[in-house]
């Protein structure tokens, strides 16, 4: 009997503001992919950067997902409840000499040519404070995307020993996202193309942790202008919870999918969208400019 690994996908917003149209595309794309394959769809709140978080945003995000007809499996995972896990892994990496402290400033790294050269990891007397970087012997510079094909990134970026805990004591996205995806047994990561480069670093970390690597599927970014994606940081407007139908069809159109009946409730629209989802129709460019 052949064992088939179950599909498990996820949507992992940060509570730095309400969901906007770009967030909806990521949520919808990941949901359609998971449900069309008969898989699970999990929600994770990435709340490990308190200075950027807005009070009440986490619950507002969940309410918006409900208003748009999304149904998630299992309990919502909050990264803020897993800080001990991140710290334990960092201590293990330090003990095994797979990570080290670094006190180099951005100005110093610019003087290195813009790419960190690993100098703090070569000190005879290791530092005992500062940011923590992971040793990156794998320097992965290519990966296969399930829709875009082979993706390559800058060699210098791929080879860097990257930060897994910041000098201000906050845990870095690269570490937390990998440990959480391992914990939740995510089989495929569906997200925006703004995370194409970090994918290579995450693959390196999976190798270092000797853990299975999920598949990757990146979606086009919704941009107000070239190179400027919609985001909470540039004050993209929140999507309408009271009348979600128009936004659902707009997001489907963005993803190259057929529209669904707007007379239906949001949950029925999502069900119909799942039944007719076609990955081959999703655009392969990294960003799409929105009509204004």
Q: Report the CATH number that the domain containing residue 241 is assigned in CATH.
A: 3.40.50.620
13 annotated as a binding-site residue: yes
For residue 234, the model assigns a pLDDT of 62
253 annotated as a binding-site residue: no
Query: What would the mean pLDDT of 271-283 be, rounded to a whole number?
Result: 96
Among the listed residues 33, 120, 123, the one whose alpha carbon sits nearest the alpha carbon of residue 70: 33
12 annotated as a binding-site residue: yes
116 annotated as a binding-site residue: yes
Query: What would the mean pLDDT of 156-168 be, rounded to a whole number?
Result: 95
User: Which CA distances in Å does 237 have to 195, 240, 243, 291?
Assistant: 22, 9, 15, 15
Asked whether the beta carbons of 26 and 219 are under 8 A apart, the reply is yes
Query: What would the mean pLDDT of 184-197 be, rounded to a whole number?
Result: 96
Establish if 154 belongs to a structural domain: no
For residue 291, the model assigns a pLDDT of 72
For residue 228, the model assigns a pLDDT of 64
102 annotated as a binding-site residue: yes
Residue 152 pLDDT exceeds 70: yes
Residue 93 pLDDT exceeds 50: yes
86 annotated as a binding-site residue: no
For residue 22, the model assigns a pLDDT of 93
What percent of the chain is predicted at pLDDT more than 90? 87
Establish if 112 belongs to a structural domain: no
Long-range contacts of 277-283 (CB under 8 A, 24+ apart): 277/32, 277/33, 277/35, 277/36, 279/33, 279/146, 279/147, 281/255, 281/256, 281/257, 282/29, 282/147, 282/219, 282/220, 282/255, 282/256, 282/257, 283/220, 283/255, 283/256
Which residues are 189's β-sheet partners? 216
Residue 57, number of CB atoms within 10 A of its CB? 20
Range of the domain at 283: 8-81+184-190+211-289
Establish if 96 belongs to a structural domain: no
Model confidence over 201-237: pLDDT tens digits? 999 999 999 999 999 999 999 987 776 677 666 667 8
160 annotated as a binding-site residue: no
Residue 292 pLDDT exceeds 60: no
Q: What is the pTM of this model?
A: 0.94
Which helix (H) or strand (E) element contains residue 252?
helix 245-254
Establish if 242 belongs to a structural domain: yes
68 annotated as a binding-site residue: no
For residue 237, the model assigns a pLDDT of 86
For residue 1, the model assigns a pLDDT of 45
Query: What would the mean pLDDT of 141-159 be, rounded to a whole number?
Result: 94
104 annotated as a binding-site residue: yes
Establish if 206 belongs to a structural domain: no
- Indicate the angle between helix axes 83-95 and 173-183, nearest 10 degrees: 110
Q: Given pLDDT bands bounded at 50, 70 and 90, which one contains residue 274?
A: very high
Establish if 119 belongs to a structural domain: no
Establish if 90 belongs to a structural domain: no
For residue 61, the model assigns a pLDDT of 97
Residue 12 pLDDT exceeds 80: yes
Establish if 260 belongs to a structural domain: yes
232 annotated as a binding-site residue: yes
249 phi/psi in degrees, rounded to 5:
-70, -35
What percent of the chain is predicted at pLDDT more than 70? 96
Asked whether the beta carbons of 130 and 161 are under 8 A apart, the reply is no
Tell me the pLDDT of the chain averaged across its residues.
93
Residue 4 pLDDT exceeds 70: no
Domain total of the chain: 1
Residue 253 pLDDT exceeds 80: yes
């Amino acid at each position: 009997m052949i064992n088939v690994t179950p599909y498990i996908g996820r949507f992992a917003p940060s509570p730095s503001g309400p969901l906007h149209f770009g967030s909806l595309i990521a949520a919808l794309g990941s949901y359609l992919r998971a449900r069309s394959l008969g898989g699970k769809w999990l929600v994770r709140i990435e709340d490990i950067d308190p200075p950027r978080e807005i009070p009440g945003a986490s619950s507002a995000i969940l309410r918006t997902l409900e208003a748009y007809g999304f149904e998630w499996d299992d309990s919502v995972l909050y990264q803020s409840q897993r800080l001990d896990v991140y710290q334990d892994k960092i201590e293990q990496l330090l003990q095994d000499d797979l990570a080290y402290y670094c006190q180099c400033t951005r100005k110093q790294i610019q003087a290195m040519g813009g790419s960190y050269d690993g100098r703090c990891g070569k000190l005879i007397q290791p530092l005992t404070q500062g940011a923590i970087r992971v040793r990156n012997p794998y320097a992965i510079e290519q990966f296969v995307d399930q829709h875009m094909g082979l993706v390559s990134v800058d060699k210098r970026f791929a080879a860097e020993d990257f930060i897994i805990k910041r000098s201000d004591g906050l845990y870095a996205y690269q570490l937390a996202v990998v440990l959480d995806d391992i914990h939740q047994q995510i089989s495929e990561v569906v997200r925006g193309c703004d995370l194409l480069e970090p994918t290579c670093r995450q693959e390196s970390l999976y190798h270092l942790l000797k853990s299975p690597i999920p598949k990757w599927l990146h979606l086009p970014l919704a941009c107000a202008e070239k190179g400027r994606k919609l985001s909470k940081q540039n004050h993209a407007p929140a999507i309408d919870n009271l009348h979600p139908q128009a936004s659902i069809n707009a997001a489907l159109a963005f993803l190259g999918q057929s529209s669904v009946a707007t007379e239906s409730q949001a949950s029925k629209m999502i069900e119909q969208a799942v039944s007719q989802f076609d990955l081959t129709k999703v655009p392969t460019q990294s960003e799409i400019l929105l009509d204004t």
